Amino acid sequence: MEFRRFQAIVWKWLWLVILGTAVVTLTTYWISVTSTPIYRASATLLVEAGLPEPKDEAAALLTIDRVARTYIQLISSPDLMEEVISGLGLDFSPTALASKISGSPVPSTQLFQIQIEDSNPLRAREIANRVAESFVKRNTRMRQSRFDAAKAELDEQIGNVEKEIERVQGAINSLGDPKDPKNLALPDFVRAEQGRLQASLSKNQIIYSTLLQSAHDLRLSTARYANNVSISTRAEVPPSPIKPRVFFNTVLAALLGFLASLGLAFFLEFLDDTIKSVEDISQFLGLASLGAIFRITGKKIEDKLVTRLHARSPITEAYRGLRTSLQFTSVDRPLRSLLVTSASPMEGKSTTVANLGIVMAQGGKSIVIVDSDLRRPIMHRFFQLPNTQGLTTLLVEDNPIIDGILQATEIDNLRVLTSGPLPPNPAELLGSQRMKEVLEELKRKADIVLFDSPPTLAVTDASVLAGQVDGTMLVVDAGNTRRGAAQRAKEQLVKVGANLIGSALNKLSSRGGAGYYYYYYYYYSEDGERRGRRSRRKALGRLRVAGASLAALVLLGGGFTLWSPLSTNLLLKNAVEVIKHLLTRP
């Protein structure tokens, strides 16, 4: 898409972009301001002797992620949530409380943060500290239970060895001490039994000593590793809410609203199948563009004759350009009669005929405008002429005097043949042999005869006349005439053998890209300088309103973000001053 086309689309839909951005921004701002503020309290845990050192960075990240997920699951377990709710007397369900909890490891440390979000800052602190305390106690009990099983088994083994030592010692004592002189005469088998028992006693004593050492080591391990998690930093009362982030939300909404509105504008432009530019006429109709005429303002019908009221306006220049284009199209074949029609009603064909006739007459040509719209005639209203006699008079009466029916206007060289009384059969009259005779007679009395006809698709009148005149011009309403309708009108005219010389783009908006060039020259003309300044003042006024709105949003958003009544009041006063300055500056 060319930049000029892009600029024209943006300028056309600027109101939608501004409106959409403003609606999204103000809605987001209102929701952010009226939302309940949420506070975050954080308690920090110290995890000692946690995990082995990972081999690489990827493994480290995976390990940290697993630890974080594991701790979050343990902290938000239903049992622990029930314990916290019971301890603080909260009116929450375990699931609701768990949804308020989040946690994350502090990078490159053995610290783990427990974060609680709540609308009450004091309650957020109490919950964070109670969750941390309960988790530490639960972790201690869990790890202690692992050591208790090993300790119980070891104590059982020590008891069994002690009993065995006592048994062996008793047996030895019952046989007597072999070193006692009284027992030197004992039999050899008794002395052998005493030796065996003594060896068993020594073995059991060694086992007993080993078990005692293991028990000692277990006690040390229990004291050291039973609790590897402790509270490093207790939660404090959060001084300010973390959300809603009024300023951030407002700015982000403004950006997203602008992009969404801009996208919607281009989407609507894509769906719009109307003809909007001279390029569309060439692309979709395959016709030469004879001229582009701006939309004429004014409520009265006399205001439509801009070529008579404003000789140096850009619209008048556009009609002069249309006159020149028609002259070039008829170099080889003189254009003595021209039919001006459109695909549908209200596309400006009658206005085009009236103004084109004026600029042609001002160029020194003898012009006759014929109102051949025998259903809704309007030419007599344009030029303030009576319509008691006209074209129908020439077609139905015997030997009428055409000079007596042609009516002069205030414009030199321009006469008008009004429609006359409306007949019941317009198409039959226009296709009659008498109509051909009237046309030839009009050509003898004027250099160019311009016909204003009904819309091509509405009735067959234009198709009937198109085959009789030297050329036909199709008027297209920029932004309203649909491509399909214009194409059908062209096909219908071609079928009846019309010499379709081109098309005129009517009611072109001055905001479009093509309109800039006309207004460029108009600004530097003596008659248009005043209007140019007025248009620029209006544009600056719109920009000031937009700038004032944006400044107000930014200042208000900043004030509510600080969440201070004093700061907010100060920024509100500044916003009012900025708006006054932007709207009242010369």
Q: Which residues contact residue 449 at a Cβ distance below 8 angstroms, ignoring those fewer than 6 apart?
A: 336, 337, 338, 367, 368, 370, 439, 442, 443, 469
Distance, in Å, from the CA atom of 88 to the CA atom of 133, rounded to the nearest integer, reads 12
Segment holding 41, helix H or strand E:
strand 39-47
Strands (E), 362-417: 367-371, 407-408, 414-417
What is the per-residue pLDDT across 251-274, written as a single tens digit (0 to 9) for each? Answer: 999 999 999 999 998 888 888 888
What is the per-residue pLDDT across 387-436, written as a single tens digit (0 to 9) for each? Answer: 999 999 999 887 778 888 999 999 999 999 999 999 998 999 999 999 99
What would the two tokens of residue 586 be?
Answer: 């010369």
* pLDDT value of position 510: 65
- pLDDT (average), residues 215-240: 77
Distance, in Å, from the CA atom of 50 to the CA atom of 72, rounded to the nearest integer, reads 16
Distance, in Å, from the CA atom of 522 to the CA atom of 527, rounded to the nearest integer, reads 8
Across the chain, mean pLDDT equals 81
CB 68 within 8 A of CB 104: yes
**Distance, C-alpha 511 to centroid of its chain:** 23
443, 289, 306: which is closest to 366 by C-alpha?
443
Name the CA dihedral angle for 391, 395, 397, 401, rounded to a multiple of 10 degrees.
60
Distance, in Å, from the CA atom of 424 to the CA atom of 387, rounded to the nearest integer, reads 17
* pLDDT value of position 255: 94
292, 297, 294: which is closest to 315 by C-alpha?
294
% the chain with pLDDT above 70:
78
What is the per-residue pLDDT across 164-220, written as a single tens digit (0 to 9) for each? Answer: 888 877 777 777 666 666 666 666 666 677 778 778 878 888 888 888 888 777 676
* pLDDT value of position 188: 66
What would the two tokens of residue 377 be?
Answer: 């005639």
Residue 550 vs residue 312, higher pLDDT: 312
Name the CA dihedral angle for 59, 62, 63, 64, rounded to a multiple of 10 degrees.
120
Distance, in Å, from the CA atom of 561 to the CA atom of 425, rounded to the nearest integer, reads 75
Distance, in Å, from the CA atom of 4 to the CA atom of 9, rounded to the nearest integer, reads 9
Distance, in Å, from the CA atom of 320 to the CA atom of 361, rounded to the nearest integer, reads 11
Q: Which residues contact residue 299 at a Cβ distance below 8 angstroms, ignoring those fewer than 6 apart?
A: none
Distance, in Å, from the CA atom of 438 to the CA atom of 490, rounded to the nearest integer, reads 26
- pLDDT (average), residues 118-126: 92
Angle at alpha carbon of residue 331, lines to 327 and 333, rounded to 5°: 110
Segment holding 533, helix H or strand E:
helix 529-562
Residue type, 12: K
Residue 537 vs residue 215, higher pLDDT: 215
Lowest mean pLDDT of 58-62, 81-85, 105-109, 559-563, name the range.
559-563
Q: Which residues contact residue 64 at a Cβ distance below 8 angstroms, ignoring those fewer than 6 apart?
A: 105, 107
Segment holding 474, helix H or strand E:
strand 471-477
Q: Which residues contact residue 155 at a Cβ distance below 8 angstroms, ignoring those fewer than 6 apart?
A: 215
366, 229, 358: which is closest to 302 by C-alpha?
358
CATH among 3.60.90.10, 3.40.50.1980, 3.40.50.300, 3.40.50.150 for 286-512: 3.40.50.300
Q: Where are the domains of the chain?
A: 3-35+244-268, 39-233, 286-512, 538-584
* pLDDT value of position 524: 40
Q: With left for phi above 0 and alpha for psi between -120 and 50, is residue 342 left, alpha or beta?
A: beta
What is the per-residue pLDDT across 294-311, written as a single tens digit (0 to 9) for each? Answer: 888 877 888 889 988 888
CB 475 within 8 A of CB 506: yes
Could you please report the per-residue DSSP string of 148-181? Answer: HHHHHHHHHHHHHHHHHHHHHHHHHHHH--TTSG
